[in-house]
Amino acid sequence: MSAAPETLGPSARTREYLSGEHLLLINGERVPAASGDKIEVQDPASEDIVTSVAGAGAEDIDRAVAAARAALKGEWSKLTSYERARLMLKFADEIDANIAQIAELEVLENGLPRMISEFTVAKFGAEFMRYFAGWTNKIHGKTIPVSPMDAANGETLTYTRREPIGVVGAITPWNAPLAMAILKLAPVLATGCTIVLKPAELTPLVALYLGELAHKVGFPPGVINVVPGYGHTAGAALAEHPDVDKISFTGSTAVGKKIIEASTGNLKKVTLELGGKSPFVVFPDADLERVIPGAVRGCFFLQGQNCMASTRLFVHEDVFDNVVEGVAGGVGQMPIGPGLDPNSLLGPLISGDQRSRVMEFVDAGKSSDAELVCGGEALPGRGFFMQPTLFSRTNMDMKIAREEIFGPVLCVQSFSDSELQAVADEANATVYGLSGSVWTRDISVAHKMAAMIDSGQVSINCHAAVDPAVPFGGNKQSGWGREFGEEGLDPYLKTKATTVLF
Ligand code: NAP
Ligand code: MG
C-alpha cells in the first residue's frame, strides 16, 4: 500500500484570491459576521488550512433575510422576464469565463479531481443557469372557462397567475459545492424569488465566489445573499426563520427531518434532496464491456460522496464472478491523488471525520460475512485518502448494504431469480429511493424493471444520467419534491386564482 501522494499547489491567481478576506455577502455588500466569527477552510488533500471565511450566526441570518425580503419588493420585482433572463445569461458567461478559478477553489475546499470539477462547473454552472434562464418568459398561468359565480349575476373571467414564492432559504452539502449552489440559484432567479444561501461549513468558498460574480453581473442588492456558517447555528436559524417562505435543502436524511420540524413555526414550504443507496442491477445478457466501467464510475465518482452513487450492485449469478473481477480490476486502476494533480481520478474524502465514519462501515463489513475483494484501508500520510473498497457476497441484512456510507465502498450481491419482482424487492429494500439503474439488452426486462424500482430516476444501461432539463429528486426517505426541468420551477412558485365579475 502506497503512502498518500504529494499535494500540488494552487495557481498564483487562486493563492492571491485565498489571501483576501472572505466575508458574508448580504444586500450586495461584503460584511463581517456580527460576532466576528471565522470558519477555517481545510484542503482535504494536504490538511493545510487554505483560508478562513466569516461565519454567520442568527443575527447575520436575520440581516440576510431582511435584505432578501426588501429585494423581493424592489427593483428586482420590476424587471421584465427578459431582463431577468439576460442577467442570468450574463451570470452564465461569467461562470464560463472563470471555470479554471472556480474549479481550483472547488478542488481546494472539497478535494474532488480537477477534471471532474471543470466539467461540473461548465455543465452545472453555466449550462444549468442557461437552461433556467430559458424558463423566465415561459412561466404563466391559465384562463379557466368556468363561471364560479352565479351566472345570473353576470359574466366572469377566471385566470391564474404564477407568482414567486418569495424569500428562499437554501441549505447545501459539501459534496459538490458548485453544483449545489447553482441548482438552488437558477430556479430562484428564473422565478423572480430572492435567496439566502447557506453552503456547508466545510465548503464555503465556491458559493461566496459565485455570489461575488453575480453581484458583478448586476443582480440588484439583496437578491442573492450568501452566508456560510455552521448547520446547527446559521442553518437552524434559516430553517426556522419566520420570514423565510421556503427552504430548499440538500443534505442528509437526518438533517432533512430537522428541517421539516423547524419549518412548522410559519409553515414554510420545504423541498428536500436527501440521501441514497442506489441499486445497479445487472442481468446475465448485459454488455459487460459497458457494465464494468459503468459500475466503477457509478459508485466511485466523487469518492463515493455522491447521493446518486450506485453503491449496491445486484448481479445475476451467471455473470457474478466476471463482474466482480472486472470491477475490482477497474477500481485498482483508478489513480488516487490530490485533485490538483491532472492524473487523479479519486481524491481524498472531505474530512478526517468523514473518513473515520466511512472506515467504521468498512470495519463492520470486514467483521460481517461479506468478502473483502479489494481496498479496505485508509492511506497513511497527509490528506484524507482511502482505498476504494469492494465487498462481495453482501446481503440486505448487512449494515454496509443498508445504510448510506457516502464514501468509496461498493457492495456486490448476487441474484438467481428469474422473477423480476423478487429482484426489484431486494433492490428496493432500503429506506432510500433516489436513483438506480438496470443493465440488460432485453428491452422488456429493462422497462419492466425500471418501472419496478422505487426511485426518482432510473437509468437503463447507464447510471445517474443527470441533466438540467430532467426532473431530479427522491422517493421514500430520499426527499420531497423535484428539482431540475419544468417541474423544478413548481416549488418556487405559488398559484393565485383571480376571478372577475363583469
Ligand atoms: P448534512 O450534514 O445533512 O448537511 C447539509 C447541510 O445542512 C449543511 O449545510 C449543514 O451545515 C446543514 N445543517 C446541518 N445541521 C443543520 C440543522 N440542524 N439545521 C439546518 N441546517 C443544518 O449533509 P452533508 O454531510 O453536508 O452531506 C451529505 C449528505 O447529503 C448525504 O446524505 C447525501 O446523500 C446528501 N446529498 C443529497 C443530494 C441529493 O440531491 N439528494 C445531493 C448531495 C448530497 P454544516 O455542514 O455547516 O453542518
Ligand atoms: Mg454534516
Each residue of 189-226: pLDDT tens digit?
999 999 999 999 999 999 999 999 999 999 999 999 99
C-beta of residue 412 within 8 angstroms of C-beta of residue 313: yes
307 is catalytic: yes
Q: In which band, very low, low, confident or very high, does the pLDDT at 2 lie, cut at 50, 70 and 90?
A: very low
In the predicted model, is pLDDT for residue 376 greater than 90?
yes
In the predicted model, is pLDDT for residue 6 greater than 90?
no
For residue 145, the model assigns a pLDDT of 86
> Hey, which of 39, 171, 263, 271 would you mutate to test ligand 1's pocket, going by the most ligand atoms within 8 Å of its Cβ?
171
Per-residue pLDDT tens over the stretch 110-121:
999 999 999 888
158 CA → ligand 2 middle, Å: 47
For residue 330, the model assigns a pLDDT of 98
Place of cell 445517474: 464
370 CA → ligand 1 middle, Å: 30
In the predicted model, is pLDDT for residue 393 greater than 60?
yes
Indicate the angle between helix axes 205-217 and 99-110, nearest 10 degrees. Answer: 160
CATH topology of domain 13-274+480-498: Aldehyde Dehydrogenase; Chain A, domain 1 (3.40.605)
For residue 471, the model assigns a pLDDT of 97
For residue 122, the model assigns a pLDDT of 81
For residue 8, the model assigns a pLDDT of 72
Residue of higher predicted confidence among 351 and 1: 351
Q: Where in the chain is the domain with CATH 3.40.605.10?
A: 13-274+480-498
For residue 470, the tally of other CB atoms under 10 A from its CB is 13
173 lines ligand 1 (CB under 6 A): yes
350 lines ligand 1 (CB under 6 A): no
Q: In which band, very low, low, confident or very high, does the pLDDT at 417 lie, cut at 50, 70 and 90?
A: confident
Return the amino acid letter for 199.
Answer: P
413 lines ligand 1 (CB under 6 A): no
3-state secondary structure at position 433: coil
> Hey, which of 250, 431, 482, 483 would you mutate to test ligand 1's pocket, going by the most ligand atoms within 8 Å of its Cβ?
250
**Residue 96, C-beta contacts closer than 8 angstroms, at least 6 positions apart:** 122, 125, 126
In the predicted model, is pLDDT for residue 424 greater than 80?
yes
Share of the chain above pLDDT 90, in %: 93
Catalytic-labelled residue, pool 118, 307, 411, 426: 307
Residue nearest to atom 8 of ligand 1 (CA): 200
φ/ψ (deg, to 5) at 471: -55, 140
Q: Which of 168, 144, 3 is nearest to 72 (CA)?
A: 168
Ranking 1-10, 317-326, 386-395, 461-470 by mean pLDDT, the lowest is: 1-10
39 lines ligand 1 (CB under 6 A): no
C-beta of residue 172 within 8 angstroms of C-beta of residue 304: no
The CA distance from 61 to 12, in Å, is 33
For residue 151, the model assigns a pLDDT of 64
163 is catalytic: no
Share of the chain above pLDDT 70, in %: 98
Q: In which band, very low, low, confident or very high, does the pLDDT at 150 lie, cut at 50, 70 and 90?
A: low
Enter the C-alpha cell of residue 183: 441548482
CATH topology of domain 279-467: Aldehyde Dehydrogenase; Chain A, domain 2 (3.40.309)
Catalytic-labelled residue, pool 94, 109, 201, 273: 273
Q: Where in the chain is the domain with CATH 3.40.309.10?
A: 279-467
Q: In which band, very low, low, confident or very high, does the pLDDT at 183 lie, cut at 50, 70 and 90?
A: very high
**Residue 119, C-beta contacts closer than 8 angstroms, at least 6 positions apart:** none
Q: Which of 127, 132, 140 is nearest to 84 (CA)?
A: 132
